[in-house]
Structure 1
Amino acid sequence: MCSASAPTGRPVARARTRTSAPGSDAPRRRARGFTLVELIVVVALIAIAVGVASLALRDPVAGRLEREAMRLAALLESARTEARSAGLVVRWRPVPADDRGTPAGFRFEGLPPQLKLPQRWLASEVRAEVIGRPVLLLGPEAMIPAQRVLLRLGAEQLLLGTDGLAPFAVVPETAP
């Protein structure tokens, strides 16, 4: 006779879930190697170190020339704005160093005397050359001719220019 409550002849196997809770008596095998998180952290640290090192190894001459170009672009735009707002004919002229020890610089011609813009380079070794004409014309018209200035510092050089409508900016080397 068979009943549902009668025990069967086979013992029931009990499943045990391994836990890592304190007091667990299941022996744990020590994992070998690194986890994915550990590897990602190490790769991220190496990437940060390489980035910092590449910034530290940047050419200081090129950085100085870029700062001069950005400063000159801001000064030219300031003078251009003043020329348009006051209706003045304003020119920018590079001034070479002379034999008396006066360092190279530049001059804004046509601005009112109370507007004192800088006339010297931050790095005294910077040289400038206006391409195709002796001076840059900055106003009074809103649309000026396309103009370019070549800045040199040692073996490095940068071209600063405008198409006549856009502000002065560094011109990429591939541009004509």
Structure 2
Amino acid sequence: MPSVHSFSPRNSGFTLLELLVVIAIMAMATAGVSLAMRDTGQTSLEREAQRLAVLFESARAQSRASGAPVYWHTTAGGFRFEGLPAQALPDRWLAEGTTVRGNAAVQLGPEPIIGPQSVDLVSSTAAAGQPLRVMRVATDGLRPFAVQALEPP
């Protein structure tokens, strides 16, 4: 007597192997799209501001450890830490078009309280129709340097 529920390959659906192949293809496509996406100017400016805050804190710690004053100021090609050995810290921006608004100079020690100070970073590579981006790296003199987003002028 024949079975009521006969097994037919047409009615079985997808196999596990077919599903795994489809998932692998989707994962590769997602990875390709994420790698192809360009870094926006806002993201690169935020990264520069975070990097500068970390560099300030590093120079501040080195100044306190050595007892020598350390000053930071901008140069034509980037910035400079005076009072530290040459090549102790980087002296260039990572992103093209990053500049400092105004004539900024920062004293980073050796005293534990350095007074309120700030530096405004500007990305001059704004795309057409996008506003100028400004990030501030600031401290009240006691707390570590922190990054703040500013409204463009």
TM-score normalised by length of structure 1: 0.57
Larger radius of gyration: 1
Task: Write out the 4+ residue segments of structure 1 that deviate beyond 3 Å after TM superposition.
Answer: 56-59
Partner residue in 2 for 1:34? none
**1:136 maps to 2:106:** yes
By how many angstroms is 1:173 displaced?
3.6
- Please tell me whether the aligned partners of residues 146 and 162 of structure 1 are also in contact (alpha carbons under 8 angstroms): yes
**1:151 maps to 2:124:** no
- Match 2:43 to one of 63, 69, 80: 63
- Note the alpha carbon deviations across 1:92-138, whole angstroms, 9 max, x for none: 0011x3xxxxxx300001x33265210000012100136xx641010
The structure with the greater share of residues assigned to helix is 2
**1:91 maps to 2:71:** yes
Partner residue in 2 for 1:81? 61
Aligned residues: 143
- Match 1:105 to one of 64, 69, 78: 78
- Match 2:88 to one of 116, 119, 125: 116
| 5+ long unaligned stretches in structure 2 | 1-32, 127-132
2: CA distance, partners of 1:152 / 1:172 = 11
Q: Which residue identity is paired with 1:167?
A: P
